[in-house]
Amino acid sequence: MVGKRDSVLIVSHLSLKSRIGDIWLAASQRGLFRVSLGPLDVDAVKSVYEKTPGIVFRTGGKQVEQAARELLLYLEGKLTRFSVKLDLRSSTPFSKKVWRATSKIPDGQVRSYAWVAAKLGDPNAARAVGGALARNPVPILVPCHRVLDSHGGLAGFGAGLPLKKWLLTLESGQPSLGLRPGGTEQS
């Protein structure tokens, strides 16, 4: 989860305001390992890391700054493919497989939990797929918002279903039906 240099673990972080609200990013030297959507007590998170000997927590850095640029371009509809590296090494092998399969869903398209499970070779694992997607540490970059329930309905998104719908609308290139990213009507 964190980068190691001369026995010092480095966590780079960055908070930004976006059209969907607050976003907090954290990265190691290997890549981005956390995207938090919505309000976050950064000082509380930072204090957890700082209590661990050998961890350096710093603002900014190549990985988080690249991720921030790419996310903002994506949210403006100007980017469809992320190039920022991800650091998912602290995740389970099953979760990594789910996230790799989910990352292959093309921009502007959706699939079901059952489709992801079938891609993994276990069509009965749809519920386990849902669990892995619920633990996705880098939403949007691993596009869990593109996964729907078996009936094609919106289901399960940590940042809320209105944001999931907004992201899918953004990717489809269709008008947003007058909704803001938070799901409220524009005035």
Write out the catalytic residue numbers: 144
b/e 2-14 (16+ beta carbons within 10 angstroms → b)? bbeeeeebbbbbb
Q: Which helix (H) or strand (E) holds 63?
A: helix 62-75
Half-sphere exposure of 15 (CA within 13 A, CB side): 10
Residue 32 three-state SS: strand
